[in-house]
Amino acid sequence: MRNIIAKTSLFCLLLLAFSCAKDIEYLNAGGDASSLKVKIDGNLTEFQTVTAVIMDVPPKKALQIIASKGTSQALSIMLSDYQGKKTYDLSEDPSIVSFTLDNKNPLETTFLAEEGKVVITSASATTISGTFEFKAKSISDDSERIFKEGSFTITIADPSKNPSIPVNPSNANMKAKINNTSLSFAGEANLIKATQPIAMNSMMINGYSDKKMLSIMIDDYKGVGTYEINDTNSHMMMYTLDFSQNAGDYSAISGKIIVTSSTSSSIKGTFEFIGEKDNDSSNKITVKEGTFEMSYKTVSM
């Protein structure tokens, strides 16, 4: 069970890490006022970049905090039932708290909290502050890390001010009909290349059209071929109506991705799916005649 939760947490971090730079600004640029520090096994660690977002997940809200130090260390706090000022018991409340010592080797250096607490001491529309402490166990062995005297103060960006991402003929490399309305997207792709024998390569494609977003993740990517959306794999497609207003995501419940051409630096293919709005099974969209053709970057993890 710990490995399943860990993979879910790592996937969320990958989505944040490889989203468009403008989309990262929506989460929070951190700012001089944002900070997070904690003693790890007695040694004080101050994180250089701290981001936060409060997401609507009807009927609840979720808080995601991500802190990083250089390009190696990362700490993630996800409170799935965020209620503002409160003490969140990590052994009881729905939450995922993880620490990765080396982002280039996450499967061997990630620790998941098993017990502890996060205390939100102050929360407003623009700023959140709190403290935390927890004991975490490695997902690869039985080693543990102790986190004490953790504290954070984070400025939360106003999502309504997130700039739109324009599409023009020079960057429209992704297209689709969404409920029979043709849309063009500025797409970008990253191949997440696994360095561990038990891990799989993943191709991640994000397309942006003003404040709309199309996301595709091909798990266990093997180049040219057909990748079906079903219960036997972890492939994913998702359409976001407006990422600045939390207007809702439509996740694929069926569909397929066909990669027709794949080189060491480019990918081309088609896709289609039926998407269901999160927490509303009666609200669906149809995505047809989807195409993409773009270069991609390879990142080893």
For 170-183, the pLDDT digits (tens) are 667 999 999 999 99
202 and 81 both lie in a single domain = no
Which range (44-48, 119-123, 200-204) has the least confidence? 200-204
What's the pLDDT score for residue 196? 52
95 and 176 both lie in a single domain = no
131 and 177 both lie in a single domain = no
Residues near 76 by beta carbon (within 8 Å), at least 6 away in sequence:
9, 12, 13, 64, 65, 66, 67, 96, 97, 98, 99, 100
What's the pLDDT score for residue 181? 94
For 209-251, the pLDDT digits (tens) are 887 889 999 988 999 999 999 877 778 899 988 766 656 789 8
Whether residue 131 has pLDDT greater than 90: yes
What's the pLDDT score for residue 58? 60
CB neighbours of residue 195 within 10 Å: 12
288 and 185 both lie in a single domain = yes
> How far does Cα 237 stand from its chain's mean position?
13
68 and 21 both lie in a single domain = yes
86 and 172 both lie in a single domain = no
Residues near 168 by beta carbon (within 8 Å), at least 6 away in sequence:
none
Which range (14-23, 39-48, 269-278) has the least confidence? 14-23
Contacts 24+ apart (CB under 8 A), 32-35: 33/127, 33/153, 33/155, 34/152, 34/153, 34/154, 34/155, 35/152, 35/153, 35/154
155 and 185 both lie in a single domain = no
| Residue finishing a domain among 159, 182, 208 | 159
In residues, how long is the chain?
301
Tell me the residue range of the domain where 28 lies: 2-159
Q: Which residues are 204's β-sheet partners? A: 190, 217
The structure tokens 């063009």 sit at 184
| Residue finishing a domain among 159, 180, 196 | 159
For 26-44, the pLDDT digits (tens) are 334 444 568 999 999 999 9
Distance CA(71)–CA(273), nearest Å, equals 36
- 99 confidence band (pLDDT: 50, 70, 90): confident
141 and 169 both lie in a single domain = no
- 20 confidence band (pLDDT: 50, 70, 90): very low
As for how many domains the chain has, the answer is 2
Closest CA to 36 of 132, 134, 146, 145: 132
| Residue finishing a domain among 159, 181, 211 | 159
116 and 179 both lie in a single domain = no
Average pLDDT over residues 204-213: 86
Q: What is the DSSP string of 244-281?
A: TTT--EEEEEEEEEEEEEE-SSEEEEEEEEEEEETTEE
Q: What is the DSSP string of 30-86?
A: --TT-EEEEEETTEEEEESEEEEEEEEETTEEEEEEEEEETTTEEEEEEETT--SSE
89 and 151 both lie in a single domain = yes
Average pLDDT over residues 74-89: 90
Whether residue 283 has pLDDT greater than 50: yes
What integer best gives the mean pLDDT of the chain?
81
For 56-69, the pLDDT digits (tens) are 666 678 888 888 88
- Sign of the CA dihedral running 257, 235, 58, 129: negative
Q: Is 111 in contact with 139 (CB distance < 8 Å)?
A: yes
What's the pLDDT score for residue 214? 92
Hey, which of 18-27, 85-94, 131-140, 204-213 has the most confident mean pLDDT?
131-140
Residues near 1 by beta carbon (within 8 Å), at least 6 away in sequence:
none
Whether residue 10 has pLDDT greater than 60: no
What's the pLDDT score for residue 246? 59
Closest CA to 259 of 294, 234, 288: 294
Average pLDDT over residues 98-111: 77
77 and 37 both lie in a single domain = yes
Distance CA(296)–CA(266), nearest Å, equals 5
Q: What is the CATH number of the domain that holds 24?
A: 2.40.128
133 and 48 both lie in a single domain = yes
Cis geometry, peptide bond prior to residue 59 (ω within 30 degrees of 0): yes
